[in-house]
Chains A and B, each alone.
Chain A
Amino acid sequence: MLEVKNLSKSFGGVHAMQDVSFTVRAGSVHSVIGPNGAGKTTLFNLISGVYEPTRGEILLDGENVAGLAPDQLARRGMSRTFQNLQVCMNMTACENVMLGAHLRTRSSLLGGMTGTTRRADAALREEALRLIDEVGVGRHAHAHATQLSFGLLKRLEIARALASKPRLLLHDEPAAGLNDTETHEITELIRRIAASGVTVLLVEHDMKLVMNISDHLLVLDYGRKLAEGTAAEVRANPQVIAAYLGTEAASEAVDIAEAA
């Protein structure tokens, strides 16, 4: 469904991404991992239209969408969450999620003012509340965003992304800032999302989550592709382990991973 070819991005003299190519199969959970600064979030920003690539192609179902604006990508069924949250703190939780369904609404200002959108909106609200329940924020559905904790806001972002009924969902570090219990819940949530047919592209540091849930992995290091394959293949790849932990820890890590 998603094919990235020779993707490169430079910021002035800094080569944040160099010549990265990989394919994501429809309906799979594909994770992107790598040490800090490897370029994972840059990759996300490139795919989701926040950055424009310096070179390379991004093929979404065969169409080259590199350089398209985020709202155009949304129209093509792409949605994402943000590592450092981009929640609209001036709205309630429910309103945030309803915003996610923007493309499915009649958003004309005149229509809004004259109240012609109210009935459709009521249905949308029901849907949003259901999504909020599904991600586990149900108790706070009508709370103002400023009253929610980081963990809740993270889940809210997922609900918002799901509200657009995406085909491809980009998850930027879903477990960042979460404790073990919350991570477990998020893992289950992502599993349910994937099971419903959404293709999930994930950036994550938490190895347990990644290894548990991924069909396929991409390892980045210094903006380049280091390795690619199934969880088992990548786990055993000495280069990958070396990149993360240094060569000495390589064997240790293999033992731990196998025990998990």
Chain B
Amino acid sequence: MKAGTHALLRPSLLVLALVLALLPLAMPNNYVIDVAVRIALAAVAAIGLNLLMGFAGQISIGHAAFVAIGAYGSGIVTVRFGWPPLAAIGGAALGAAVVAWLIAKPILRLKGHSLTMATLGLGVIVNIVLINEVDWTGGPDGMPVPPLVIGGFAFAKVLHWYALAAVLLWLSVLLSLNLYESPGGRALRGLNGSEVAARVMGVDVARFKVRAFVLSAVFAAVSGSLTAHYLGFISPSLAAFAHSVELATMVVLGGMASTFGAVLGAALLTALPQLLGGLHGYEMVFFGLVLMLTMMFLPKGLVPSIALKLRRKA
């Protein structure tokens, strides 16, 4: 980072802004724009998960739980308590943060596979609760969610949603890149690199892990809330293990600790199934293979591996 360059003027951010702004011109129809919206919202969740998995090295395969908490939180308070959508999104995010904070402290004392299993358990528990508390959640059949109206403006068209999602994505990337270069981000990445060393340098490892967990939960919840309003309908499958795995795969495939990697991972994993004609039953085979092959041959993920190749050529 050259001294004096303002955070907002990073070349990569400018390019991203440009791309996002011009993309709709290249999109032939609403279907493609719809995919773009889904990618952007998924990317927000992936960027959040990247903070936890990529920066801090804490593997979570239950993160869809927070997406679902965001979605259902939003859904329930708008439908049952008539909250305005913005407040609902904020409230759901806060709720997710609280849940994350409560769980994080005990869970993050675990390491390696124990932590991963605990996150798995978290996802399962949330899924079970959503399915069973029919009075609140509508059970396995799901519940409808009212459309997004902010300050009188109704987000009715796909293009409106694209604008919103694109801005949110750009902001998320900004926040993530900022964090990467900041002392706090270094502390996270440091405790990933060597927990012993980080401790010796004065990093309160436990507290940082919890903070990363809570932060990633908030990203997921915001993504979930907006998805709820966008789709107009939510079901407990949002918290399903498959969804958690999908999120984790986005981060792993794109490249752990790489912000743009998370975006790329989200794009690939959301778009490819659509492109391959809706895999129809082949999703699991596909995801399973992607996970295995990535970790076996490109353990660093796509973006870092490509970056490494380019660096070597230079």
Interface size of A by Cβ–Cβ distance < 8 Å? 44
CB of B128 to closest CB in A, whole Å: 31
Chain B residues closer than 8 Å to A112, beta-carbon distance: 178-179, 181-185
Is B283 interfacial (CB 8 A cutoff)?
A: no
Judging by beta carbons under 8 Å apart, are A102 and B203 in contact? yes
Judging by beta carbons under 8 Å apart, are A113 and B200 in contact? no
Bound Cα distance from A115 to B193, whole angstroms: 23
Chain B residues closer than 8 Å to A99, beta-carbon distance: 186-187, 190, 197-198, 201, 203
Is A197 interfacial (CB 8 A cutoff)?
A: no
Judging by beta carbons under 8 Å apart, are A87 and B183 in contact? no
Is A207 interfacial (CB 8 A cutoff)?
A: no
Chain B residue at minimum C-beta to C-beta distance from A76: B202
Judging by beta carbons under 8 Å apart, are A109 and B184 in contact? yes
Among A49, A79, A86, A106, the most chain B Cβ lie within 10 Å of the Cβ of A86
Q: Mark A81-110, 1 if CB is under 8 A from B, else 0.
A: 010001111110001101110110111110
Identify which of residues 191-205 in chain B touch chain A, using a CB-to-CB cut-off of 8 Å. Answer: 192-194, 196-205
Judging by beta carbons under 8 Å apart, are A88 and B190 in contact? yes
CB of A129 to closest CB in B, whole Å: 11
Judging by beta carbons under 8 Å apart, are B187 and A107 in contact? yes
Chain B residues closer than 8 Å to A177, beta-carbon distance: none
Judging by beta carbons under 8 Å apart, are A115 and B183 in contact? no
Judging by beta carbons under 8 Å apart, are A111 and B182 in contact? yes
Bound Cα distance from A88 to B68, whole angstroms: 34
Judging by beta carbons under 8 Å apart, are A107 and B184 in contact? yes
Judging by beta carbons under 8 Å apart, are A109 and B199 in contact? no
Is B7 interfacial (CB 8 A cutoff)?
A: yes
Chain B residues closer than 8 Å to A145, beta-carbon distance: 193
Identify which of residues 167-218 in chain B touch chain A, using a CB-to-CB cut-off of 8 Å. Answer: 175-176, 178-179, 181-190, 192-194, 196-205, 208, 211-212, 215
Is B257 interfacial (CB 8 A cutoff)?
A: yes
How many interface residues does chain B have, given as a range?
20 to 34
Chain A residues closer than 8 Å to B314, beta-carbon distance: none
Judging by beta carbons under 8 Å apart, are B194 and A86 in contact? yes
Judging by beta carbons under 8 Å apart, are A117 and B189 in contact? no
Chain B residues closer than 8 Å to A108, beta-carbon distance: 184
Identify which of residues 25-78 in chain A touch chain B, using a CB-to-CB cut-off of 8 Å. Answer: 48-50, 69-71, 73-75
Chain A residues closer than 8 Å to B194, beta-carbon distance: 86-89
Judging by beta carbons under 8 Å apart, are B202 and A164 in contact? yes
Judging by beta carbons under 8 Å apart, are B201 and A160 in contact? yes
Bound Cα distance from A106 to B179, whole angstroms: 12
Is A224 interfacial (CB 8 A cutoff)?
A: no
Is B276 interfacial (CB 8 A cutoff)?
A: no
Chain B residues closer than 8 Å to A87, beta-carbon distance: 193-194, 197
Chain B residues closer than 8 Å to A124, beta-carbon distance: 183
Chain B residues closer than 8 Å to A106, beta-carbon distance: 183
Is B285 interfacial (CB 8 A cutoff)?
A: no
Is B296 interfacial (CB 8 A cutoff)?
A: no
CB of A118 to closest CB in B, whole Å: 6
Is B3 interfacial (CB 8 A cutoff)?
A: yes
Judging by beta carbons under 8 Å apart, are A75 and B202 in contact? yes
Chain A residue at minimum C-beta to C-beta distance from B193: A88
Judging by beta carbons under 8 Å apart, are B197 and A90 in contact? no
CB of A10 to closest CB in B, whole Å: 21
> Which one of B3, B175, B193, B205 lies within 8 Å of A113 (CB-CB)?
B175
> Which one of B7, B189, B212 lies within 8 Å of A91 (CB-CB)?
B189
Question: Which B residues have a C-beta under 8 Å from some C-beta of A?
Answer: 3, 7, 175-176, 178-179, 181-190, 192-194, 196-205, 208, 211-212, 215, 257
